[in-house]
Structures are given as C-alpha cells and as structure tokens.
Chain A
Amino acid sequence: MRRMRNLLFALAVVVLVAVPPAFAQEQEPVVDLMEFIPAQFRADFSDRNGDGIPDIGELPPEGVAGIWDDKIGEVTEDGFLAAVSGTFDPSDEGSSLTGPCKGVVISYDADGLSIDAMFDRGGAEPPYDVYGNQKMTRSNPLEVDTAGTLVYYGSSIPATFHNHRWFISAEGVFKDDGGDPNPRDKNRNAGSVDFGDLLPFQFTALIQAKGAWVDGWGAADLPEMEVYPEPNCTGAGWVKFVGPNPLLTPPGILATLLAAAGFTGVLFNARPALSWKEG
C-alpha cells in the first residue's frame, strides 16, 4: 500500500513538471522575416520547423552570390520598417542598440533550420525577436548554434559612415575589430558567419557581448568608452551559444573531471587525520 502511494506521488510530480510545458501556448510571430528575402529566392526557403523564421537548405557554394548580397537592395528602407512595424514593450533590461543601425540577424543550426532571430529598427529602441519581445536580454538571449551559421543584413541608412572603426567583443571569449574608409559609400551590408568552420569545438555558454561602430574615427583602434562621438552605433546584450548536451562537449567533460577530482581530493586527501603516537 505504501509502495503504491509512493509510486502515485512520484507519478504526480512527473506529470506536474512535464505536462504544463507541453501545453504551454507557443507565441505567434508578429514579424514576417520572409519579406527580407528577395522574391526570386523565396521558393528556396520555408519555415520547416514552424517557428515563424525562414529556414535554409544547403548554403550556396563559394563564389556564388548569396541571397544577402546586393540583391537585398530590392527591399527598401521603408519596406524594411513597414515589415517590422508594431508597438513592442521593452520591459526587460539588459540589451540595447542605439544609433542609425538597423537590420536582421537569423541563427541557424548545422542543418539549416532556424534557431533564433532578431531585428532592430534603428534609433533608441532595443532589438526585438519575431514574437515582439525584447531580444538579447539575459532572460531572452540570442541563441547561436556553435555548429551552425549566423546570417545578417544591416544598414545605417540614412547615415553613411566613412573612415569608420568598429569592434565587437564577447566577455572572456573573443574580440574582433575593423574599419574602412568606405570610398564607395556603402551604407548596408549582408553576410554570414559559419561557426561550424570557425570554432574548434562545440560548447554551450551564456555570454555578454558589446560593440560599437563610429563614423570618422580613422585608422586607430577603437577603445571601449562610455560615450562615443556622433554619429555612432553602439550595442550590448546577451548571446547564448547552444550545442549538444553540455556534458558531452570538451569544456563540459573537462569541468566534470575537474569537479569530480576536486571533490574526491577534498573529502579523502585533504581532511585532517589522527595517527597513533609512537612509543
């Protein structure tokens, strides 16, 4: 009787924990990112995993113009803003992107299925996800697959930066910087970052990132500052690198071994010991 009672109690706990999330109402997207893909390529994209973000198939081979190249100019500044219109509530803290910069970032796994996406409309508003929630906050970080790809489209319209300098850094992980005189007056760009090629191994971690892009800075390195000269784009927020089971990644295996060895040593080798006196 007691065993049956304990079994029923355990079953109730499992049901209470597992069932509600299964029935939790999924958010509906309020922004259609498909509008940023030129019409002639849309047939190659579809939302295969039902999260409201267009998924990709095989990436085009090197040398072939990608879908985010100059053809994106078919989507105008007004068209972009119209597609991401709406009133969102930046009630959460922890992310910002200020200045004329705006654009879209989509994160894909190694199979081309979308994991996450965010957009920014420029100005003082923070970035948002397609469900209307503030993005890159600690509770809603941008998820990036360490074996996947990140694709982005961005613009600084109406501004055009010349002799600009930029940096992007992630707490304790990496820092990158660059700049350009920009003689061709480019004010928009698109591209992709293949983390599967760049990273030596997969890992999982929550990281705080920040960056800045300053017009007219010149060739000198751009330091981290409280306030940058105008015009500029500055941003900060949270990124979550996702991958396989954390315990199966090299950092996870190392951490487990160190923790286990350490606990064993503390308990059995470091404890004071009594010994019999001689004589």
Chain B
Amino acid sequence: MKETTLKRHPIRGFIWGLITGVGVGLLLMVFSIVPLSIPTLIIYTAVSAVLGALWGMFAPPKKPKGARPDTLPPPAAA
C-alpha cells in the first residue's frame, strides 16, 4: 500500500516557465547575443513555458515533509 501521494504542478511550471522565458530572452537581447525581435521573444517564452510545464509534470519529486505517520509516538494514555 502506498504511503505517499504525488502531486504534480504543470500549471505552476507553465507560469514560472513563461516568466523564465521572458527573462532569459530579454537578457540575451540586452547583451546583444541575439537580435532584438518580438517573434524571437515569443518563441523563447513559449518554449520555456512548455518546458516548465513538463518539469512540473515529470521532474523528480520532492520528498515528503515531516516524519512518516506510523513512526509518530502514540498519544499519551488518559
């Protein structure tokens, strides 16, 4: 019987990926590594958002917080 449940966060990954894509795209443009171009920025943002969603779905999960419930000490007797 499974002791843990897995929660995936594709929407959070999509949103954070969106923000990362805009930031990284703009950084590349202000350093003149890539030309300033709205279509290019949109592509970077879209790709990063998709990668973020995939990360939110399939990345190695974080370990559960706290101790396992069956290792907790029994409540004190009345």
The answer to whether A274 touches B52, judged by C-beta atoms less than 8 angstroms apart, is no
Q: Does A65 contact B (CB under 8 A)?
A: no
Interface size class of A (residues with CB under 8 A): 35 or more
Candidates B15, B37, B58; contact of A171 at CB < 8 Å: B37
How would you classify the secondary structure of chain A's contact residues: helix, strand, loop or mixed?
A: mixed
Candidates B19, B59, B62, B69; contact of A276 at CB < 8 Å: B69
7 example contacts (A-B, Cβ-Cβ < 8 A) are as follows A171-B35, A172-B37, A256-B27, A265-B15, A270-B16, A271-B62, A274-B5
Given contacts A272-B62, A276-B69, contact A206 B3 (CB under 8 A): no
User: A residues near B, CB below 8 A?
Assistant: 138, 171-173, 203-208, 238, 240, 246-247, 249, 251-252, 254-263, 265-266, 269-279
A-contact 0/1 string along B3-14, CB 8 Å cutoff: 111111100110
Cβ-closest chain B residue relative to A272: B61
The 6 closest A-B pairs by CB, nearest first: A262-B20, A259-B23, A258-B23, A265-B16, A255-B26, A270-B13
Q: Does B22 contact A (CB under 8 A)?
A: yes
- The total of chain B residues at the interface (CB under 8 A) is 49
The answer to whether B30 touches A255, judged by C-beta atoms less than 8 angstroms apart, is yes
Cβ-closest chain B residue relative to A258: B23
CA distance A247 to B65 in the complex (A): 38
The answer to whether B20 touches A263, judged by C-beta atoms less than 8 angstroms apart, is yes
The answer to whether B36 touches A207, judged by C-beta atoms less than 8 angstroms apart, is yes
CA distance A155 to B64 in the complex (A): 73
Cβ-closest chain B residue relative to A266: B16
A-contact 0/1 string along B21-57, CB 8 Å cutoff: 1111111011110111111000000001000100111
Hey, which chain A residues are within 8 Å of B58, CB to CB?
272
The answer to whether B16 touches A269, judged by C-beta atoms less than 8 angstroms apart, is yes
CA distance A274 to B61 in the complex (A): 6
A208 to chain B, nearest CB (A): 6
Candidates A138, A255, A261, A277; contact of B27 at CB < 8 Å: A255
CA distance A276 to B61 in the complex (A): 13
Hey, which chain B residues are within 8 Å of A254, CB to CB?
23, 26
Cβ-closest chain B residue relative to A172: B38
Taking A259-B20, A272-B58 as known contacts, 13 extra A-B pairs with beta carbons closer than 8 A to each other, sorted by chain A number, are: A173-B36, A204-B32, A205-B36, A206-B34, A258-B20, A259-B23, A261-B23, A262-B18, A266-B52, A272-B60, A274-B6, A276-B64, A277-B3
